Amino acid sequence: MQILEIFFTPRCPICGVFQDSNNFCYECFSSVEFLNGGCLKCAEPFEYPVPGVEICQKCAELNLGFEYEMRAAIVYNSTAKNLILRLKNHQDFGLVQLFSHVLRPILADFKGVSDVVIVPVPLYKKRLVWRGYNQTSLLANVVARELGVQVVHALKRVKNTNSQAMKTTQERIENVAGAFEIDKKFARFLTNKHVLVLDDVITTGATALECAKTLQNGGVYEGFGNNIGEIGGKGSEGLGKISEGVSKDSGRESKIGQNCGPRMVTIVGIARRLRHFR
């Protein structure tokens, strides 16, 4: 095989075997476990699905005081782990497109829905500087483009939390409590929106739920018209669309000030770590 052929021949993104397209090869595709259904609040698959039951016992007893749903596309097995770590730690940016494909079935309902915005789970500033990028933001940009919606970097991570690994659910919840704040510059873009909080791996959901809680509780409305150009950062598209929305809504300024939290939050993760694997 010539050197150029090696560069340009499509490969399986997981095992690297040469083939006809850049999709998964057959063996690797069979190692990706897609999640269908499961609990609407924690995305954990039901051990024994009962028709009509959409929320697991644990979540039914948990009242967080706001509306949310949680979905994940695939099981966090060794294949998913390998792919996510490659994106996270080895700048394998080609995987962003692949993950956006993987997420398509669970995001299909949001396609073309104009009152949806995507908020990626942010990294702590130091970690962002160290890594150079937030893999979830990269994914958010691609997903937003596909759905025709905006990315709003509405959250800041204000606490550098310890690793969540090896912690119980309760410890995880305590560990991330107060870890996020709303970036008030962008709070107004959440007004009456259905927010998709995007994360890479969902374990207990504690981190993403803390994001959802922060968005719901901290929707402090600040005056219109500032910083429109800053929204979404480099990868965000459709600033024209935002400006339209702002000018159209500007007459409602005083009323919106009373309540500007998001209407509902859907937490979306690429992969869900299942309880029995922990």
β-sheet bridge partners, residue 196: 118, 266
Rounded least distance, CB 32 to Zn ion, Å: 10
Q: What angle do CA 119, 85, 266 make, to 5 degrees?
A: 25
Residue 278 structure tokens: 């922990």
Scanning residues 31 to 70, which ones bind Zn ion (CB under 5 A)? 39, 41-42, 56, 59
* Binding of residue 138 to Zn ion (CB under 5 A): no
* Binding of residue 98 to Zn ion (CB under 5 A): no
* Binding of residue 267 to Zn ion (CB under 5 A): no
* Binding of residue 15 to Zn ion (CB under 5 A): yes
Helix 94-107 / helix 78-89 crossing angle, nearest 10 deg: 130
β-sheet bridge partners, residue 267: 70, 197
Q: What angle do CA 160, 137, 159 make, to 5 degrees?
A: 10
CA nearest to 31, candidates 82, 104, 106, 96: 82
**Choices 15-23, 116-124, 160-168, 212-220; region in contact with Zn ion by CB under 5 A:** 15-23
Rounded least distance, CB 256 to Zn ion, Å: 33
Place of tokens 């397209």: 21
* Binding of residue 211 to Zn ion (CB under 5 A): no
Cα(167)–Cα(115) distance, integer angstroms: 36
Q: Which is nearer to Zn ion, 15 or 239 (CB)?
A: 15
Q: How many residues does the chain have?
A: 278
* Binding of residue 179 to Zn ion (CB under 5 A): no
Cα(220)–Cα(182) distance, integer angstroms: 8
**Choices 10-18, 85-93, 113-121, 265-273; region in contact with Zn ion by CB under 5 A:** 10-18
* Binding of residue 28 to Zn ion (CB under 5 A): yes
Rounded least distance, CB 39 to Zn ion, Å: 3
Q: Which is nearer to Zn ion, 31 or 164 (CB)?
A: 31
**Choices 13-21, 156-164, 216-224, 244-252; region in contact with Zn ion by CB under 5 A:** 13-21
Q: Which is nearer to Zn ion, 42 or 117 (CB)?
A: 42
DSSP string of 121-160?
PPPBHHHHHHHSS-HHHHHHHHHHHHHT-EE---EEE-S-
* Binding of residue 208 to Zn ion (CB under 5 A): no
Instruction: Name the residues that contact Zn ion, by CB under 5 A.
Output: 12, 14-15, 25, 28, 39, 41-42, 56, 59
